[in-house]
Amino acid sequence: MRDYMAKLRARGDLLEVRRPVQARHELAAVTQAAQRRFGKPILFHEVSGTKLPVLTNVYGSRERLAEILGIAPSDFCRRWNELASVAAPAAGPLKREVPMPRDLVDARLSDLPLLTYAERDAAPYFTSAIFLAREPETGVPNLSFHRSMYVSDSELRVRLAPRHHLTLYHEKAEAKGRPLEAAMLLGPPPQVFLAAAAPVPYDVDELEVAARLAGQPLDMRPCKHINLEVPATTEIVIEGRFLPNVRRPEGPFGEFMGYYVPVGDNAVFEVLGVSMRPDAIFHSILCGSPEEVLTLELSVAANVYQRVSAVLPGILDVTCQPFVLHTVVKIRQQYEGHARQVLMAVFGAEPTWAKTCTVVDEDVNIYDMNDVMWAVLTRSRPDRDVMILPSVPSFYRDPHKDHWGRLGIDATAPFERRHEFERKRVPGADTLDLGAYLPSA
């Protein structure tokens, strides 16, 4: 992570705050305001209560994530599925064991930045930590994001959502009366961050996916207190175990949808030790910011692209804009009714997040919501091209059914009259060097 940070700094894409900031609310406020105005990563050098610098928004743009993977931003879905594929055999070992680094520093949770983000958050939270654990029966490692509320140096309370792989691991372990060992990774290699968000099957080793994304073996070092290996260059590692059959109050917390999640009984993580690099950098994610939501959007989009492409032709690209609950699919129309089939396929492929889906033609920029809405307003008839599916469950945490139902919009041109919907084009407008005409602008 620090190598990529250095690359961003060298080209002027890293904002640096040297003025002291408070860990409670102020760091989050500066982060939110700077993200909205500049969209760049931010490094805070002096944060109250800790000696560690804090890096945020490093993965907060499609362009930066695509750069890490070595692909074009518009080619994410197709190339992501190729790079994350585990079908093809690897050319060599995907993981490489290395000795325990001699310069690791032992620490306590309270030595780390204890950041409180939203106004009503119950306590400081760790928002960027990636949990690494092994499936209790097969030993396959899993990487996943889960918020963790700070209680003390020995206890965190963790939100484990239904159906997540780590949740299933924990349930399997506690059915046998056993704790589940896990390591929290703060600041691992960027490919590990991406692999943690990847839509891969239950039995796939996501550390191997990270190695495939990096194009080289992943160096792994042993933990100090538990029987796990972690990526050796990770900035900070918190080792511990989920206690079996124990749940304690966690929350409220300002989550990614922009609302507070109320207090609920959640998993208890017993902290056994913290180790970090001597000059460790703490990675923070402001929940609801592009750095959090974008990885979820990309994961959902890649999953939809993969599943729908397997059953229907002409799928060119998929994104979730302007929020993860809206899927936008770009197609090359093959026949009358093609877009309607795509709508139904999307709702079948993504039962949780695809609350609304819009299908557009290949001449629409699906990363520009103005262009998507232009297609809706000029190519769809509300009485014919809008599909409402009532009483269909969606987002899993929805006791009041606020997210039930589906909305599908066919914003493609009528198949037999496509030639009438050719977009006007001004030759040269997209390629000319405007500075040659307006040097002072």
Q: Are residues 135 and 234 in the same domain?
A: yes
Domain count, the chain: 2
Residues in the chain: 441
DSSP state of 100: P
Are the beta carbons of 337 and 414 closer than 8 angstroms? Answer: no
Q: Are residues 296 and 272 in the same domain?
A: no
pLDDT of res. 83: 61
Are the beta carbons of 110 and 153 closer than 8 angstroms? Answer: yes
Q: What's the pLDDT band for 364 if we cut at 50, 70, 90?
A: very high
User: Any bridge partners for residue 184, and if so which?
Assistant: 131, 238
Does the residue 155 lie in any domain? yes
pLDDT of res. 91: 58
Question: Residue type at 340?
Answer: R
Residue where a domain terminates, one of 230, 257, 288: 288
> Judging by DSSP bridges, how do beta strands 260-261 and 253-254 pair with one another?
antiparallel
The CA-CA-CA angle for residues 36, 198, 297, to 5°, reads: 35
pLDDT of res. 383: 95
Does the residue 434 lie in any domain? no
Are the beta carbons of 111 and 50 closer than 8 angstroms? Answer: yes
Are the beta carbons of 257 and 271 closer than 8 angstroms? Answer: no
Q: Are residues 275 and 230 in the same domain?
A: yes
pLDDT of res. 172: 95
Question: Per-residue DSSP letters for 218-256?
Answer: EEEEE-SSSS-EEETT-SEEEEEEEEEEEEEEE--EE-T
Nearest Cα neighbor of 275 from 235, 237, 241 is 237
Nearest Cα neighbor of 241 from 270, 275, 274 is 270
d(CA 149, CA 250): 7
Q: Are residues 274 and 319 in the same domain?
A: no
Residue where a domain terminates, one of 239, 266, 288: 288
pLDDT of res. 162: 80
Q: Are residues 284 and 365 in the same domain?
A: no
pLDDT over 60 at 303, yes or no: yes
Does the residue 66 lie in any domain? yes
Q: Which two tokens stand for residue 101?
A: 């680094």
What percentage of the chain reaches a pLDDT higher than 90? 71
Rg of the chain over all Cα atoms, to the nearest angstrom: 23
Q: What's the pLDDT band for 101 if we cut at 50, 70, 90?
A: confident
Q: Are residues 278 and 313 in the same domain?
A: no
Does the residue 190 lie in any domain? yes
Q: Are residues 284 and 372 in the same domain?
A: no
pLDDT of res. 198: 77
CA distances from 417 to 232, 335, 382, 413, 420 (A): 58, 12, 18, 7, 6
Nearest Cα neighbor of 35 from 55, 52, 56 is 56
Q: What's the pLDDT band for 212 if we cut at 50, 70, 90?
A: confident
**Three-state DSSP class for residue 123:** coil
Does the residue 428 lie in any domain? no
**Three-state DSSP class for residue 329:** strand
pLDDT over 80 at 335, yes or no: yes
pLDDT over 80 at 65, yes or no: yes
pLDDT of res. 251: 93
d(CA 265, CA 165): 19
Residue where a domain terminates, one of 288, 303, 338: 288
CA distances from 274 to 101, 247, 249 (A): 14, 23, 24
Q: Are residues 325 and 408 in the same domain?
A: yes
* Model confidence pLDDT, tens digit, residues 162-201: 878 999 999 999 999 999 999 999 999 999 998 888 777 8
Peptide bond into 179 cis (omega under 30): no
pLDDT over 70 at 29, yes or no: yes
Q: Are residues 148 and 42 in the same domain?
A: yes
Rounded to an integer, what is the distance from CA 354 to the centroid of its chain?
16
Does the residue 238 lie in any domain? yes
The residue among 101 and 92 whose pLDDT is bigger is 101
Question: Residue type at 191?
Answer: Q
Does the residue 120 lie in any domain? yes
pLDDT over 60 at 117, yes or no: yes
> Judging by DSSP bridges, how do beta strands 155-158 and 125-126 pair with one another?
unpaired
**Three-state DSSP class for residue 89:** coil
Q: What are phi and psi of 5, to 5 degrees?
A: -60, -40
pLDDT over 70 at 88, yes or no: no
pLDDT of res. 361: 98
Are the beta carbons of 268 and 237 closer than 8 angstroms? Answer: no
- The secondary element (H helix, E strand) that includes residue 33 is helix 26-37
Q: Which two tokens stand for residue 121?
A: 């958050």
pLDDT of res. 312: 97
Q: What's the pLDDT band for 85 if we cut at 50, 70, 90?
A: low
Domain of 358, CATH number, reads: 3.40.1670.10
Domain, as residue range, for 169: 2-288
- Over the chain, what is the mean pLDDT? 92
d(CA 339, CA 314): 10
Q: Are residues 83 and 155 in the same domain?
A: yes
The residue among 400 and 134 whose pLDDT is bigger is 134
The CA-CA-CA angle for residues 265, 166, 171, to 5°, reads: 65
**Three-state DSSP class for residue 132:** strand
pLDDT of res. 154: 97
Domain of 122, CATH number, reads: 2.30.110.10
Of the listed ranges 240-244, 268-272, 421-425, the one predicted with least confidence: 421-425
Cβ density class 271-295: b for 16+ within 10 Å, e for less:
bbbbbbbeebbbbbbbbbbbbbbbb
Does the residue 299 lie in any domain? yes
> Which positions ≥6 away from 245 have C-beta within 8 Å?
174, 177
Rounded to an integer, what is the distance from CA 25 to the centroid of its chain?
23
Strands annotated E in 232-381: 236-250, 253-254, 260-261, 264-276, 282-284, 315-320, 326-331, 356-361
pLDDT over 70 at 68, yes or no: yes
pLDDT of res. 194: 87
Question: Per-residue DSSP letters for 372-415?
Answer: HHHHHHHH--HHHHEEEETT---SSS-TT-TT-SEEEEE-SPPG
Average pLDDT over residues 138-149: 94
Are the beta carbons of 294 and 339 closer than 8 angstroms? Answer: no
Q: Are residues 300 and 269 in the same domain?
A: no
* Model confidence pLDDT, tens digit, residues 243-294: 999 999 999 999 988 889 999 999 999 999 999 999 999 999 999 888 888 8
Quickly count: other Cβ atoms within 10 Å of residue 351's Cβ. Answer: 13
Tell me if the pTM is above 0.75.
Answer: yes
pLDDT over 60 at 430, yes or no: yes
Q: Are residues 34 and 17 in the same domain?
A: yes
